[in-house]
């Protein structure tokens, strides 16, 4: 199952040009002065339901006001005076967890999320992904070169269909956020 999720994530990266700024939990942070370090992580929970395939998060400077109809419109043409600071895509088993946005200074922001469900046969998709990884010699351990080779093999299979997410149909939820010195201001749940 882990191989399927890793390859699914790789295929998502190959097919989505928007993926940038993914911020995993800060596990690789220096430990020299960990007690004096201020946690500048903003956690955003989209409250994604079970069965969610992917969630796209966007952090914007300032207050967006009324958000556009979908996430693509927001990221491609943000309102005047607003800048897209981060874009994060979570998928697979991570789709239902909050996004961790590191190094967010105090200030006023807008956070948005779109929850997407995959179309197509997920079971058939997973079986083909598993078979492709096995065909390139993938074992129980994940290997980046083998994942890439499996992705290339799947691209050549005319019967393989990458499950797509219709982001225009995914409701966009946005919330203005004021990040302060209070740690509670760094926990956001989108309603």
pLDDT at position 121: 57
DSSP, residue by residue, 18-43? T-B-----STT---TTTTT-----EE
Residues in the chain with pLDDT values less than 50: 1-4, 13-36
Q: How many CB atoms lie within 10 A of CB 18?
A: 14
pLDDT at position 133: 86
Q: Measured between alpha carbons, how far is 165 from 154 in angstroms, rounded to an integer?
A: 18
pLDDT at position 112: 96
For residue 118, what are the contacts with CB-CB under 8 A and spacing of at least 6?
53, 54, 125, 163, 164, 165
DSSP E strand boundaries for the chain? 42-45, 54-61, 84-91, 99-101, 107-116, 172-179, 187-189
pLDDT at position 38: 64
Q: Is the pTM of this model over 0.85?
A: no
| Domain ranges for the chain | 2-19+49-179
Query: Do the Cβ atoms of 114 and 74 come closer than 8 Å?
Result: no
pLDDT at position 131: 84
For residue 123, what are the contacts with CB-CB under 8 A and spacing of at least 6?
none
Q: Measured between alpha carbons, how far is 125 from 71 in angstroms, rounded to an integer?
A: 26
Query: Do the Cβ atoms of 132 and 154 come closer than 8 Å?
Result: yes
């Amino acid at each position: 199952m882990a191989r399927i999720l890793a390859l699914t994530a790789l295929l998502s990266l190959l097919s989505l040009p928007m993926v940038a700024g993914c911020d995993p939990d800060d596990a690789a942070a220096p430990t020299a002065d960990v007690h004096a370090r201020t946690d500048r992580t903003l956690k955003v929970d989209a409250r994604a339901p079970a069965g969610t395939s992917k969630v796209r998060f966007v952090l914007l400077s300032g207050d967006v006001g009324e958000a556009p109809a979908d996430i693509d419109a927001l990221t491609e043409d943000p309102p005047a005076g607003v800048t897209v600071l981060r874009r994060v895509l979570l998928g697979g088993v991570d789709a239902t967890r909050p996004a961790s946005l590191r190094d967010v200074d105090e200030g006023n922001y807008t956070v948005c999320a779109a929850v997407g469900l995959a179309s197509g046969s997920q079971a058939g998709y997973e079986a083909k992904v598993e078979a492709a990884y096995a065909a390139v010699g993938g074992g129980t351990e994940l290997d980046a070169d083998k994942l890439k080779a499996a992705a290339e093999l799947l691209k050549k299979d005319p019967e393989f269909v990458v499950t797509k997410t219709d982001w225009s149909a995914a409701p966009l939820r946005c919330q203005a956020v004021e990040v302060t010195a209070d740690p509670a201001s760094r926990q956001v749940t989108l309603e």
